[in-house]
Structure 1
Amino acid sequence: MRSRFARVLLAAVVLTSVLAPAVFATPAAADPSVAIEYEGDRVTVASGPSQVIRGTADAPTGTEILVRVRSTGDTSPAFLKSESAVVTDDGTWAVAFNFSDIGAGGTIALTARFEDGSAETSVDGEIVACEGDCADSTPDATPTPIPEQTATPTRTDGADSPVAFGENIFLVNRGGVAAIPVSFTGDANAAVIVVGNETKVNYELDAVVRDEDGDGEAVLYVDTSLAGRGGETVSVSGGDTVDVRSETSLDAMLDPASYDVSLYAGTERDDPVDVGSLVVQEQSSQTPTSTPAEIDESDVASPDGDGLGPLALGGLVSGAFLVGGAALAAVLLRG
């Protein structure tokens, strides 16, 4: 009986050793990466049109790269520009921005990220004077055309604006709720927030947020699963109020994309005093890459007999006896 027990145990150990590499030694995939190319300690662009920003990415050809340029410091007028690039077959990407309306001497912050948010990089930059033909030639061999100008809302007022965003990039997974903080100064207690642009992205939300409790702050919450579908798309922080004046109707939840967000002082849409981007990204999901091995239990005696039974054999295959299993089998065989 012990001889049969030993044979069964040895077979289980050998089977487990064969299966172990597939279960425990699966090679990990390389992490995706994206980089912005530049010389020196920062990116330099001219105060002119067609200023090209280039980079590289460890990603398949055609992968979309979201590139954003935001004013920093005392740069005037304050702005946030965004555009999409795509990865070419040699792993490079490029996109052109128009800085003709921005004076030399301004500073900027650049960010490049994959559309799904799996990798991101940031770098500082500066705007220099446009001398001669300062417009770079647009790159060729790209899967999609690069625009000569980027139509992006521009913040018109200075830092003393009565209302402003607490931040300018609002990230949320598709189906989640995004938070858009707004600050109020002086006697200001109302602001218009416009999310999206019906002409550009087929969705637009126009809402008035009021700082009813007078604490100088309000947070607008946007539910991307209900946007445009007849539900309560927006809500607001306690003590404050929100009134939706118009919203585009949608058949499904908000698609993954970058949506412009514009802020207006008061209750009228005149000139935006601040701008931002609502980035709706696809929620990643992971699925198991290995499944338990199927064992023919007909070769193993039941617990009432002289064998190990399916429960014990299952413990062996699951790895409970991996450490020292071969040695244990050898000892049993000697018996």
Structure 2
Amino acid sequence: MSTVDAWEAFQRGEDAVGVRDEVLTSWRRSRWSGVDPRLDVPPVGDADDDSPFVRVAAPILLGMADLLAESRTCLSLADPNGHVVWRWVSDRALSDECDRSGMQFASVFDEQRVGTCGIGAALETGRLVTVHGPEHFVESFQRWSCVAAAVAHPITGRTVGAVNVTCRAADANHFLQVAARSLADEVRSALSAAATAREHRLLQAFLHARRSTTAPVLAVTEEVLLADAAAAELGLDHADTWARVVAAGAGGSVVALGGGLVADVCPVGDDRDGAVLTLRSTAPIDLSSTTAPQQRPTARRLTRLEQAESAAIAATLAECGGNKSAAAVRLGISRGTLYQKLRRYRPLTA
């Protein structure tokens, strides 16, 4: 079965045979999200073309432009929400074609909005992803091939954006993967070099605390929040946590975080350098599912799509014996995305 035949079978609700696992998993996520496979052009949102990510990454991609001048290629950057924030195209004809397809500044290529595509799948999985021609969930995108790589900040570990290389499907070659991987690696190195001394001190203090305890640990400043896996599951709000640390003042060695949680505070340096928090409970509570009361969503009925996604996640977790990392791999999403979905559904179905 060709990929085109598999795509058509999938849209009819039949088995799609011969499709790569990561593509089929992305198709399923796209269907759960309610993406219309007949979408004409992507939606448009707000985009920041002067973010720290763009300021670091754009010059690196421009440095590759001279090598790609005759390659009929488009280079682009996307923010963590899939909005295109920067674009370079090798020739005018291709640029006009990209414009007609909606591949332009501020267009949204989040997988939940436009289905399987390079940028969306890379941001969803945190990996290098290739989507060729009919592997795109939206039919109008199938004239293209793209390779995208998510870029995580070297200090926070959070995804700050994605690097994307696109060409017409008929022009696709193995160089796309080489270029995307190389560019993403260069951007990560440049982000690390651009990180401030304060951020590096915070990271070192955070890593030291993690080695010293089995309790959940996070490090926080006004701009940065670092959390280990256990702390991340608690869903603590960055701004609220920082506000509580600041309110406690320089002499505050213990901070109440709400929801039965307190934190032992270890300042990193001066007030602006932030602090490392070692979390503990004041009552016998389940730390894996605790969130501050003000963070719990208002109860509502799940939509049919949400019910299907929730059931799929629950079944996969059961198959993996409750191992969230293994479940995330099987579902084809990042562990952070899985935690977000669990926080979304647990209060609603409780």
Q: Which has the higher contact order (CA 8 A, sep 6+)?
A: 1
- Superposition TM-score, scaled by structure 1 size: 0.23
- Superposition TM-score, scaled by structure 2 size: 0.22
State which structure, 1 or 2, has the greater radius of gyration over its C-alpha atoms. Answer: 1
More helix by share: 2
More strand by share: 1
